């Protein structure tokens, strides 16, 4: 498996759509789920994995591209697929893909002479994502923070950013006027496997377990910093700043709108009532846990014992979280 995930050969990319197809067949076969909704989730997951890979390679998250992040992204997304109607699924996937595109644009600002056009496009994309899914407010905050730390002050760039945000709001308002159902709030969505009361795994275990894997993966990525180029270091820092604000704001929005607000049910209320939170953490986890997939030793093609252990823990954790979905 490691030679595939760490290879840049075209055949290696088949693992991403193959994973989605396998999940689609298993879901339709084993679950009483609409094939239309399942297909929407499979297609959305493939597109999200593709954008994650674009960010991973285009902005030099690593110095040698491979399908590791794409596969991890689609795997985490399919593990945490929500139980929702096909209309809600289309809206949710549209919002998450717009969020990823906004991040992709913002990461281009490093060492650019002028970023006015980038600011306008990223602001528009972020605004569209936010108004489709208010939980994505963190992407706007992340954009502002990145602009502050990565760029010298230029009034034109800031103006174009806010014009983009306003333009995105106008577009959503216009769409909502003709298609009001698109902007309706659907708060009844739950994680698919949380609807089965007989499963032993609780939402607290799932989210805290994934958080632990992400922190471990980030620590392993941090160990590589001394060997990375300045561009790679900057991309990793900016990307994780983005994910920090997106996840924190998603938690805040979820708890603020939860009927359990003010109680001690976090993160249970988060997992149960946050319609899009699972997709956010899955995409963030795709980047955070890529450090758990070891690279083969040069000229030997072998894994170290530590590499075998961390890979085994990652795969076992995925299976523990994935099996209850059926």
- With 0-12 / 13-18 / 19 or more C-beta atoms within 10 angstroms meaning exposed / middle / buried, residue 29 is exposed
Counting every residue written for the chain, the total comes to 326
Query: What would the mean pLDDT of 264-283 be, rounded to a whole number?
Result: 60
The answer to whether 304 touches 294, Cβ cutoff 8 Å, is yes
Domain of residue 249, residue span: 2-325
Residue 241: per-residue pLDDT = 92
Q: If pLDDT is split at 50, 70 and 90, which confidence band does 260 have?
A: very low
Residue 226: per-residue pLDDT = 77
Residue 196: per-residue pLDDT = 37
- Is residue 191 helix, strand or coil? strand
pLDDT by residue (tens digit) across 28-58?
A: 887 767 888 889 999 999 999 999 999 998 8
Eight-class DSSP state of 9: S
Quote the radius of gyration of the chain (alpha carbons, Å). Answer: 20
In the predicted structure, residue 188 carries a pLDDT above the cut 70? no
257 or 163, greater pLDDT: 163
Residue 100: per-residue pLDDT = 95
The reported pTM is 0.85
Which stretch of 41-45, 84-88, 247-251, 296-300 has the lowest confidence by average pLDDT?
Answer: 296-300
The answer to whether 248 touches 137, Cβ cutoff 8 Å, is no
Residue 160: per-residue pLDDT = 94
Query: What would the mean pLDDT of 75-93 be, rounded to a whole number?
Result: 84
Q: If pLDDT is split at 50, 70 and 90, which confidence band does 227 have?
A: confident
Q: If pLDDT is split at 50, 70 and 90, which confidence band does 172 have?
A: confident
307 or 198, greater pLDDT: 307
Which stretch of 44-48, 190-194, 202-206 has the lowest confidence by average pLDDT?
Answer: 190-194
Q: How many separate domains does the chain show? A: 1
10 or 40, greater pLDDT: 40
Residue 165 structure tokens: 């945000």
Mean pLDDT of the residues in the chain = 79
- Count how many Cα atoms sit within 13 Å of the Cα of residue 318 in the half-sphere of its side chain: 21
- What percentage of the chain carries pLDDT values higher than 90? 31
In the predicted structure, residue 268 carries a pLDDT above the cut 60? no
């Amino acid at each position: 498996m490691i030679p595939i995930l760490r290879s840049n050969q075209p055949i290696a990319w088949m693992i991403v759509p193959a994973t989605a197809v396998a999940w689609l067949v298993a879901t339709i076969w084993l679950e009483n789920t609409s094939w239309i909704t399942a297909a929407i989730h499979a297609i959305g997951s493939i597109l999200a994995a593709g954008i994650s890979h674009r960010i991973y390679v285009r902005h030099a998250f690593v110095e040698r591209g491979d399908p590791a992040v794409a596969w991890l992204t689609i795997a985490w997304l399919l593990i945490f697929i929500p139980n929702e109607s096909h209309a809600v699924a289309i809206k949710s996937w549209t919002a998450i893909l717009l969020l990823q595109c906004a991040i992709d644009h913002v990461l281009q600002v490093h060492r650019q002479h002028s970023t006015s056009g980038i600011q306008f496009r990223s602001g528009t994309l972020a605004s569209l994502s936010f108004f489709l899914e208010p939980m994505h407010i963190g992407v706007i905050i992340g954009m502002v923070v990145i602009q502050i730390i990565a760029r010298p002050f230029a009034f034109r760039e800031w103006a174009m950013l806010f014009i983009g945000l306003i333009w995105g709001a106008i577009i959503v308002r216009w769409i909502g006027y003709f298609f009001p159902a698109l902007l309706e709030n659907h708060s009844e969505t739950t994680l698919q496997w949380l609807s089965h009361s007989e499963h032993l795994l609780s939402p607290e275990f799932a989210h805290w377990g994934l958080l632990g894997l992400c922190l471990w993966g980030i620590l392993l990525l941090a160990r590589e910093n001394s060997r990375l180029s300045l561009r790679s270091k900057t991309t990793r820092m900016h990307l994780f700043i983005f994910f920090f604000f997106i996840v924190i704001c998603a938690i805040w929005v979820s708890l603020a709108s939860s009927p359990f607000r003010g109680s001690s049910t976090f993160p249970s209320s988060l997992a149960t009532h946050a319609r899009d939170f699972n997709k956010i953490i899955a995409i963030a986890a795709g980047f955070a846990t890529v450090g758990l997939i070891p690279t083969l030793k040069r000229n030997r093609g072998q894994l170290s014992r530590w590499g075998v252990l961390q890979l085994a823990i990652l795969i076992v954790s995925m299976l523990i979280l994935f099996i209850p979905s059926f």
